[in-house]
C-alpha cells in the first residue's frame, strides 16, 4: 500500500543537485522537478527546501581569492539564488505550475509573531496552488546566525506547517549501521521514536558540498518524528525516487512518527535560541516530567533556582540539578512570580504540559 501523505516537505541536498566539479546538475534538477510536478498533479501539497544557491553562483561568477570565506559565500549565494529560482521557475512553468521563493534565517523562527507571519505566508501560497521553494538567506545568515544545514531548516518548515512527511534526498540510500562505503554496513529501514543514541553506529563523515553530516540528519529527523511527522532519508540520485518512495519501492530509512503534537508545542521544540531564561529542577520533578506516558506539568515545588529574567509567554530552558538540558517550555508567568513561588506547593504550574517539550529521557 502506498504512503498516503498529503502535505510533503521535499528537502534536496547539495550533493544531489551538484556535479562532481561543484556546478549545478541541471539534468537531475529537471528530473526532480518533473517528479514534484507529478506529485502536485496528484493533489499533494509540495514544499521544496532546496540547497544549491552557492553552486549556482559558482557557475556564474568567480570570487576573488582575496575574499574571506564568509564574503565569498555571500556573493555566490546572492548571485546564485537568482539563477536557482529561475531554473525552478522555468522547469515548473513547463508543467503549468508556479513557484515562489521563500528565504529565511534563524531569526525568523525565534519570534512567535514572525513565526506566525511566515506560517500564514506558506499557507496562502499552498492555497493558491503555488510551490514554495525555500532556502536559507545566505546573504544575511553568517556564523552563529546560520542553520546547521538545510536539514535543520527543512525540519523547522515541516513542523511549522504540520506536514505529513519530510523527505530528505541525500547522496546515500539512508542511515547505515556503519560507514556507507563499508560493504559490511547495513541500511537501517526503520528507526523508532524511542531510539536515543546515534553516535554509536552512524558515520560522522560529512557530505562533499553540504555543511551537515549523517549525525546531524539523524538528530533532526528524530526530533521531527517525535513531533508526529514521518521522516524518510533516501538517495536523491535514484531514478524517480519520489513517486517510488511513496509506493515503498526504494530503500530508505524511515523515522517512525510519535503521536502528533500541537502546533505551539512544535514551535517550542525548535525555539532553544529564543529562550529568555532557565529553571533548575530537583530530581523528583525530573523523574515526574520524564516518566513515559504521563502528562506532567512543571510545578514550582520542583524548582530549585531561577536563572535569568523572563516574562509570561517567554520560552525557558529546563535543566536538571547538574545543569543538563531536559527540554523547553512556555512560561505561564514571569521570573519574579516564579521566584516568589520557588519550592512552594499548591501553586499554578510554571510550565503547563501542553506547552512543554522534553528533549531528554529518564535513565
Render pLDDT for 189-240 as a digit per residue (tens, 0 to 9).
999 877 766 655 565 554 443 444 677 788 889 888 888 899 999 999 999 9
Res 71 pLDDT > 90? no
- Sign of the four-CA dihedral 354, 355, 358, 363: negative
- Provide the mean pLDDT of the chain: 86
Classify residue 312 by its DSSP letter. Answer: T
pLDDT value at position 133?
97
Q: What does the CA dihedral 137, 161, 247, 17 come to, rounded to 10 degrees? A: 0
Q: How much is the average pLDDT of 1-24? A: 90
Pick the more confident residue, 188 or 62.
188
Pinpoint the alpha helices (H) of 238-315. 241-246, 263-269, 283-290
**21 marked as binding residue:** no
> What is the band of 353 on the pLDDT scale with cuts at 50, 70, 90?
confident
The CATH code belonging to domain 275-358 is 2.30.130.10
Q: What is the pLDDT of residue 227?
A: 84
CA atoms within 13 A on the CB side of 107: 9
Q: Is 37 helix (H, G, I), strand (E, B) or coil?
A: helix
Average pLDDT over every residue of 83-93: 95
The answer, yes or no, to whether residue 148 has pLDDT greater than 70, is no
User: What whole-number percentage of the chain has pLDDT above 70?
Assistant: 88
Q: Is the pLDDT of residue 316 over 50?
A: yes
End-to-end CA distance of the chain: 38
Residue 284 has pLDDT above 50, yes or no: yes
What pLDDT, on a 0 to 100 scale, did the predictor assign at position 303? 95
Q: How far apart are CA 23 and CA 14, in angstroms?
A: 10
105-109, 255-259, 334-338, range with the lowest pLDDT: 105-109
Count H helices and E strands in the chain, helices first. Answer: 12, 13
Residue with cell 500500500: 1
Question: Known binder of ligand: residue 51?
Answer: yes
* Contact predicate 177/136, CB 8 Å: no
308 vs 242: CA distance, rounded Å: 47
Q: Give the lowest-confidence range in 32-41, 74-83, 85-94, 281-290.
A: 74-83
Any residues with CB less than 8 A from the CB of 252 and at least 6 apart, and which? 173, 174, 189, 232, 233, 234, 235, 245
Whether residue 274 is predicted with pLDDT greater than 80 in this model: the reply is no
Q: Is 11 annotated as a binding residue?
A: yes
Q: Which of 117, 109, 106, 100 has the alpha carbon at shortest distance from 140?
A: 106
Closest CA to 136 of 42, 61, 240, 54: 54
- In the predicted model, what is the mean pLDDT of residues 9-17? 93
Q: Is 50 annotated as a binding residue?
A: no
The architecture that CATH gives domain 7-265 is: 3-Layer(aba) Sandwich (3.40)
Residue predicted with more confidence, 75 or 27 = 27
Return the pLDDT at 243: 96
- Domain positions in the chain are 7-265, 275-358
Amino acid at each position: 500500500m502506498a504512503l498516503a501523505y498529503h502535505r510533503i516537505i521535499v528537502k534536496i541536498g547539495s550533493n544531489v543537485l551538484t556535479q562532481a566539479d561543484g556546478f549545478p546538475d541541471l539534468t537531475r534538477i529537471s528530473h526532480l522537478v518533473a517528479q514534484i510536478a507529478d506529485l502536485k498533479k496528484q493533489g499533494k501539497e509540495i514544499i521544496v527546501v532546496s540547497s544549491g544557491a552557492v553552486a549556482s553562483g559558482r557557475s556564474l561568477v568567480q570570487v576573488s581569492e582575496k575574499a574571506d570565506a564568509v564574503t565569498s559565500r555571500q556573493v555566490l549565494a546572492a548571485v546564485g539564488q537568482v539563477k536557482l529560482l529561475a531554473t525552478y521557475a522555468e522547469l515548473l512553468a513547463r508543467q503549468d505550475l508556479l513557484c515562489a521563493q521563500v528565504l529565511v534565517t534563524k531569526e525568523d523562527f525565534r519570534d512567535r509573531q514572525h513565526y506566525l507571519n511566515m506560517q500564514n505566508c506558506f499557507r496562502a501560497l499552498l492555497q493558491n496552488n503555488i510551490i514554495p521553494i525555500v532556502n536559507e538567506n545566505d546573504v544575511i545568515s553568517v556564523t552563529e546566525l546560520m542553520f546547521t544545514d538545510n536539514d535543520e531548516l527543512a525540519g523547522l518548515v515541516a513542523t511549522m506547517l504540520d506536514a505529513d512527511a519530510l523527505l530528505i534526498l541525500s547522496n546515500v540510500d539512508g542511515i547505515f549501521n556503519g560507514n556507507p562505503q563499508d560493504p559490511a554496513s547495513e541500511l537501517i529501514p526503520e528507526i523508532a521514536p524511542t531510539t536515543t543514541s546515534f553516535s554509536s553506529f552512524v558515520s560522522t563523515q560529512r557530505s562533499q558540498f553540504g555543511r551537515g553530516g549523517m549525525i546531524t540528519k539523524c538528530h533532526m529527523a528524530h526530533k521531527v518524528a517525535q513531533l508526529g511527522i514521518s521522516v524518510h532519508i533516501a538517495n536523491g540520485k535514484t531514478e524517480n525516487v519520489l513517486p517510488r518512495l511513496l509506493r515503498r519501492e526504494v530503500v530508505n530509512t524511515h523515522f517512525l512518527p510519535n503521536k502528533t503534537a500541537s502546533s505551539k508545542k512544535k514551535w517550542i521544540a525548535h525555539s532553544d535560541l529564543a529562550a529568555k531564561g532557565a529553571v533548575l529542577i530537583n530530581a523528583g520533578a525530573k523523574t515526574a516530567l520524564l516518566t513515559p506516558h504521563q502528562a506532567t506539568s512543571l510545578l514550582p515545588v520542583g524548582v530549585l533556582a531561577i536563572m535569568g529574567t523572563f516574562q509570561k509567554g517567554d520560552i525557558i530552558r529546563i535543566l536538571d540539578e547538574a545543569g543538563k538540558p531536559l527540554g523547553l517550555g512556555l512560561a505561564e508567568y514571569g521570573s519574579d512570580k516564579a521566584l516568589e513561588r520557588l519550592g512552594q506547593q499548591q501553586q499554578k504550574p510554571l510550565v503547563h504540559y501542553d506547552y512543554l517539550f522534553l528533549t531528554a529521557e529518564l535513565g
